[in-house]
Structure 1
Amino acid sequence: MNRKKEIVVGMTGASGAVYAIRLVQELCQNDAYRVHLVLTDAVYQVFNLEMGWPVPHGERDSIPKWFGVPESADLHVHAPRDYGAPIASGSHLTQGMIVIPCSMGTLSAIASGASDNLLERAADTHLKEGRPLILVPRETPFNKIHLKNMLACAEAGARIVPAMPGFYHRPETMEDLIDFVVGKALDALGVEHSLFRRWGDREQE
């Protein structure tokens, strides 16, 4: 029996909750993946503000329902202070981690190696083990501190994939723009998908 590929998804309180939701949906459609989801405390406010979801603070059991993933999905939602979770240790093998959207506060913590919660600890673990860490910052404009922190993370081995949708695939809906950003994050992690039309594909139509 083949071992599932495990992917860690970190979700912060930055604007852009829909990016994380769409990414988790995409991963959970594939039986080859086991998804570990870590949400910071601020995420629950964003659920209410951006999605209109009255998810109780810290309510992890209902997350699969709100995200609209299949009941059969191999999705594990971890509390932000659960340092006993498998993803807190470098001995637990994963294919990589994506922090989407990544707030500037979390970016700063990762850049400094703070590890004040499970998300930050998991990110630090991926860096120290040399595994892929994809950060999807959602902020504008960037100040010099933000840029320096991104550079520090990149120099430590992270990939920076800003939430900046392209338009060469001729998006027609907001979902098309969301799928482009999610698809680029999955590309950086080496996960196959068909979320957007790639450059040159129209020549084959």
Structure 2
Amino acid sequence: MLSLPTTPNLVTQAKGAEDTHARSSDFGLRQKVAEDIRHACLTAGFFYVKNHGIPEELPLEAVERSKAFWDLPEKKKLETPLLSANVNPANRGDLYEKYGISWEDENGNSGVREGDGAMLGQNIWPADMPEFRTAMLNYYHAAVKLGQALFPLFALALNLPEKFFDDKTTNTAAMLRILHYPPQTGVVDDGVMGIGAHTE
């Protein structure tokens, strides 16, 4: 399990081993964290991050504000770019709502550059819900900051220079999506479900 304490250092805690600081001035210690990440990805396929530095209230506030958004009348929600999908063509559609945001600074600038492609664009926020925008962006920026702290470790895990990803992650293409699965009432159609079988 990769552990990020409240101090600026990242640490990984291997069972029976001492904490190894990923931002230590000792390259050997950072390399050890990267090796732990590599091992986790090649064996279990994933790892957890704890003590990640994201304040607990940020995701909780984002969840509460997202509930308020999903409770809006459908006409009001459709003023924003709600996304639809059918991830399994064998079904007749996915029964969920999805809203996504991408990079935006505190002044509302998206940082979109010509040639950035479809993954980046200006966010469209619901009218008269400034608390929703604030909550989403607060959590988004905290998560992006965590991702930026992990990239040097990913580089080392791939036997690349530690700063390999620095110039490739300047304008992040990270997206934050909130999902809502409305309840199904009455006769349930087996061809329509929350979301069909898929891979990430």
Q: Same fold (TM over 0.5)?
A: no
What TM-score do you get using the length of structure 1 for normalisation? 0.23
Q: Which has the higher helix share?
A: 1
Q: Which has the higher contact order (CA 8 A, sep 6+)?
A: 2
Q: Which has the higher strand share?
A: 1
